[in-house]
Structure 1
Amino acid sequence: MIRQRWVTLACSVVGAAVVALDGTLLTIAQPTLQHDLHAEFAEVQWTSTGYLVAVASLLVFAGRLGDAYGHRRLFALGTFGFAATSAAIALAPGIGWVIALRILQGVFGALLQPATLGMLRAAFPPDRLAMPIALRMSAIGLAAALGPLVGGALVAAFGWRSVFALTAIPALAIGLLAAVTGPTRPADDSEGVAPRPRTRVSGSAPAAGGSRGALDLPGAVLLAVMLACLVHVLVAVPESGWTTATGLALGGAVASGAAFARHERRTARPLLPPALLRSRPVVAGLATLLATSAALFGALFVATYFLQDVRGLDPLSTGLWVLPLAVLMVLGAPAAALLQRRFGPRRTTVGGAALLAVGVLLLSRLDESATAVPAGVCFALLGAGFGTVMATATAVVVHQASVADAGVAGGLQQTAMNIGPALGVAAATLLMTLDPDSGFVPAMGTTLLVLTGLAALGSAAALGLPGRPALTGDPEAAAEPQPQPAPQP
């Protein structure tokens, strides 16, 4: 069993890192890709947009598939597909093929991402779950830090196709590892303890997790349409502003969202388990992740333009100035696992979100004379704060779900982590263009002040997280009858 846990941890860490590395490598490769394939700028943007729309719209349903058919099985399928599409993109003859393959790659990315959390929830006891999740977060930060450096070297030496060939290799290897190892038994009964009988709240429908006949396909379609429309709006508005197409997409998101909510209330087997949505820690964790990721990526979007357009740095120098963010994120995630055992998830997450807010606030004070040291301090605060928030809030969301619903919980966490950055960039773009005559630096200051408030909102949402010093025990135990002491004679 110990060996299976280490294999599961390796699969989860490498799988999450490959997805993160793929995104950063694509950003570096896009200019060369556009030149070599004689593509328009809008076409190149769809290599990112198409992937994001596909992955964000399918994450929750993919998590439910993992609950029903096994997270390791879905992970292996997702990584094999991710590797195959990466290799195919490296051989693509034109931009149309690249866009189509990136959308397909988003489908496979949606299969594997919730599985990386679902496998951890099944493999590790609740009181040992925080550190594996923190290591997964550190791997994501490390991949994001190394991506620009590795991608730049590969593109310069071998061209843009090499970056896709690179991601195919580890994805294929980790998919093979997941396929040849047996399924992980739930950690609740992995220590030689007989599994407890499951109970459910009186009058509720049986849990859908783990049942192959319990897939809510109409709900999955409605949720996918809503998320796809929402992501399209968030991505399209910064690029082209409000148009008829974005207005129709927003209307589609509202209509499909209302239809989804109505359907979920009436169906006997909803896609989103009601107990999960009624959980205050889960809702608080998702809200915290959404708000803080929006604040972070909105601030990074603005700061990147500041460093290159105002300070005149080239992309490599910009990456070096921002490097403290990645370093502190890598270190902050494991530190958060230790802090939450001592101080509890609530205080740890509130403190991390406060650090993030201070970092964004200090960024708003930078001007044309800013040097690397004060900017580095700002980015270090961003990395330490967000690494702490991401590791702790994710651990809470996954821990609060039962093993049978771990995939849906992972899908919701991944959805928040995809919607949040898109929301932050869209908000930053709109705020920067409200007063075009004010100049970049004043507009940047105002925008970052608003994003500071968004980070503070994430800190407030974290007040709903558990306050006890450790994530221990099974959340389902609270719903089970406890033995009563025998009466004393």
Structure 2
Amino acid sequence: MPDVRLASPQGKWILLTTVLGSSMAMLDSTVVNVALPRIGRDLDADLAALQWTVNAYMLTLAGLILLGGSLGDRYGRRKVFVVGVVWFAAASLLCGLAPNAGVLVAARALQGVGGALLTPGSLALIQASFHPDDRGRAVGLWSGFGGIGAAVGPFVGGWLVDGPGWRWVFLLNVPLALVCAPIAVRHVPESGDGRTHTRFDVLGAVLGALALALVTYALIEARSGSLVVAVTAVAGVAAGVAFVSVEKRRPDPMMPLEIFASRQFTAVNLVTLCVYAAFGGFFFLAALQLQVVVGWSALAAGTALLPTTALMLLFSARSGALADRIGPRIPLTVGPLLCAAGMLLMLRVGPDASYLLDVVPALLVLGAGMVTLVAPLTATVLGSVDASRAGLASGINNAAARAAGLIAVAALPLVAGMGEEAYRSPTAFDSAFGRAMVVCAGVLVVGAVVAFTTVRSLPPGCRKPECRTHGAVVAPPLEGERVRKQLS
């Protein structure tokens, strides 16, 4: 039985290291967008290179996050967490020293591997270490600090870009890791679930990541219209079909397809795909719009985006409580519609835009929509499957959201008609940004329709802090892998 008390010195060390570890990965998912214009200028990179700077990280993270959780179960969550922290820091160092865009993209892909190792283990370590009486409060503190990190991430990124330079967006992870890893080794007890008889679904992980990579490449490079792009697109679809076939036949699949037998689970994942595709596209382009078109500094652009995550951090618990009373259908319908309205309000944000009159109203409406839907979405995912599969369901939902953001960043500039050099021309970028916001709003409306027509049953209320207190602008919060009964 886990017996560490939160008030003990060991309990405080465990909380500190897990917060630091998760914050590293979460911050990197939000602060890099603010640095993109400066990265492009310093490395003479085109729009495709900036897309890959974001997507290389999301690609390996989304493709390997389920495998990362399985590795922790097999070899020990602390061990895999520490490996992930060290790996992430080494890749961050390489990002910070990258001499050109190609090296930066490769280093970002390596960063995603580290993120896939440390992200699932962060919450699982808390659940496996703390005494049952303290576990809920520990998770609440972990979620709250993580939400604060997500909220201040764009601000920190902007300050670093305008101050010491964009490379410190990545280099900052190195000292954090030098604090995090030794504390974990010394103070965090090892844990696993004893399922050493299971086999790793390496083939499934490779096929899933390959399908995402090939489709992403085809979308980003589609402007060239070459035969290679067409072949890559077909190969990506084939890899996706092969992934589904492998998962259907394996005795221990990474993503058991029978979990989608739950109509509620399938429906809420479709909503997740729509919502987080729109979020991914928005946060990628908004930071560029505020700098390229409006003319703000990186710090001003990063600070401008604070209201969305701040609203989520402050009010998601109340939204979750309301959803407990009225059920998920209305929040999952109204939330995306509010987000769609917020993105349409962003059409007012052009040259000489006023922060108070143009930007703030859009972000407040967008933030209200995110508050309305994120907690009920997570609760519905966890309530739509058996409790013993909650960790798996949450992992699939998290991976689906990241994959949706990945595809959106690849496809949205293409759909909106952005050329390779669009971000160097305020006029061209502004026009394409307007089209992109309309597309994002349309995707959100589709998500609202899916929720209204398919989400029916009332799931058990999710009163877990990780459902409620989280700045989940990139992906829904993860529910840690369930600890076996003998540990609790």
* TM-score relative to the length of structure 1: 0.74
Alignment partner of 1:389 is 2:373? yes
Deviations 1:182-217 (A, max 9, x none): 24688xxxxxxxxxxxxxxxxxxxxxx934432223
Alignment partner of 1:181 is 2:188? yes
Quote the offset at 1:63 in angstroms: 2.9
Matches within 5 A, 1:62-81: 62-81=68-87
Q: Given residue 330 of structure 1, which amino acid in structure 2 is its aligned partner?
A: L
Partner residue in 1 for 2:205: 220
Q: Given residue 376 of structure 1, which amino acid in structure 2 is its aligned partner?
A: V
Q: 1:268 to 1:259 in 2, by over 3 A?
A: same
Q: 1:467 to 1:257 in 2, by over 3 A?
A: same
Q: Given residue 448 of structure 1, which amino acid in structure 2 is its aligned partner?
A: M
Matches within 5 A, 1:156-305: 156-179=162-185, 180-183=187-190, 210-237=195-222, 240=223, 242-301=225-284, 303-304=286-287
Alignment partner of 1:451 is 2:451? no
Partner residue in 2 for 1:355: 338
Quote the offset at 1:78 in angstroms: 1.1
Classify the secondary structure of the residue corresponding to 2:72: helix
Moved more, 119-128 or 271-280: 119-128
Q: 1:334 to 1:54 in 2, by over 3 A?
A: same
Partner residue in 1 for 2:359: 375
**In the alignment, is the contact (CA less than 8 A) between 1:67 and 1:408 conserved in 2?**
no
**In the alignment, is the contact (CA less than 8 A) between 1:345 and 1:393 conserved in 2?**
yes
Quote the offset at 1:442 in angstroms: 7.3
Deviations 1:291-334 (A, max 9, x none): 11122333445555554555444444434443322322332433
Structure-2 separation of matches of 1:42 and 1:442: 18
Q: 1:16 to 1:460 in 2, by over 3 A?
A: farther
Quote the offset at 1:222 in angstroms: 1.9
Structure-1 separation of matches of 2:300 and 2:401: 27
Q: Given residue 249 of structure 2, which amino acid in structure 1 is its aligned partner?
A: R
Structure-2 separation of matches of 1:127 and 1:243: 60
Structure-2 separation of matches of 1:124 and 1:457: 42
Q: Given residue 416 of structure 1, which amino acid in structure 2 is its aligned partner?
A: A
Classify the secondary structure of the residue corresponding to 1:220: helix
Q: Given residue 236 of structure 2, which amino acid in structure 1 is its aligned partner?
A: A
**In the alignment, is the contact (CA less than 8 A) between 1:289 and 1:416 conserved in 2?**
yes
Deviations 1:25-50 (A, max 9, x none): 44455566667678787666644443
Partner residue in 2 for 1:3: 5
Structure-2 separation of matches of 1:316 and 1:423: 27
**What's the C-alpha RMSD, in Å, of the aligned pairs?**
4.3
Q: 1:26 to 1:377 in 2, by over 3 A?
A: closer
Structure-1 separation of matches of 2:259 and 2:251: 15
Matches within 5 A, 1:121-140: 139=145
Moved more, 260-269 or 308-317: 308-317
5+ unaligned residues in a row in structure 2: which ranges? 465-488
Deviations 1:440-487 (A, max 9, x none): 7776555434422321222344452752461379xxxxxxxxxxxxxx
Classify the secondary structure of the residue corresponding to 1:3: coil
Q: Given residue 459 of structure 1, which amino acid in structure 2 is its aligned partner?
A: A
**In the alignment, is the contact (CA less than 8 A) between 1:67 and 1:405 conserved in 2?**
no
Q: 1:112 aligns with which of 118, 142, 149?
A: 118
Deviations 1:149-185 (A, max 9, x none): 3334334443444333311222343334444322468
Structure-2 separation of matches of 1:315 and 1:57: 30
Quote the offset at 1:231 in angstroms: 3.2
**In the alignment, is the contact (CA less than 8 A) between 2:220 and 2:414 conserved in 1?**
no
Partner residue in 2 for 1:191: none
Q: 1:410 to 1:267 in 2, by over 3 A?
A: same
5+ unaligned residues in a row in structure 1: which ranges? 187-208, 474-489
Partner residue in 2 for 1:55: 61
Quote the offset at 1:382 in angstroms: 1.2
Partner residue in 2 for 1:470: 461
Structure-2 separation of matches of 1:303 and 1:96: 24
Alignment partner of 1:343 is 2:326? yes
Q: Given residue 399 of structure 2, which amino acid in structure 1 is its aligned partner?
A: T
**In the alignment, is the contact (CA less than 8 A) between 1:138 and 1:333 conserved in 2?**
no
Structure-2 separation of matches of 1:100 and 1:80: 17
Q: 1:323 to 1:94 in 2, by over 3 A?
A: closer
Structure-2 separation of matches of 1:232 and 1:394: 30
**In the alignment, is the contact (CA less than 8 A) between 1:138 and 1:329 conserved in 2?**
no
Q: 1:468 to 1:282 in 2, by over 3 A?
A: closer
Quote the offset at 1:145 in angstroms: 4.2
Partner residue in 2 for 1:101: 107
Q: Which protein shows a greater Rg?
A: 1
Partner residue in 1 for 2:400: 416
**In the alignment, is the contact (CA less than 8 A) between 1:329 and 1:387 conserved in 2?**
yes
Classify the secondary structure of the residue corresponding to 1:268: coil
Structure-2 separation of matches of 1:164 and 1:434: 27
Q: Given residue 106 of structure 1, which amino acid in structure 2 is its aligned partner?
A: G
Q: 1:18 aligns with which of 2, 17, 24?
A: 24
Q: 1:258 to 1:387 in 2, by over 3 A?
A: same
Moved more, 84-93 or 60-69: 84-93
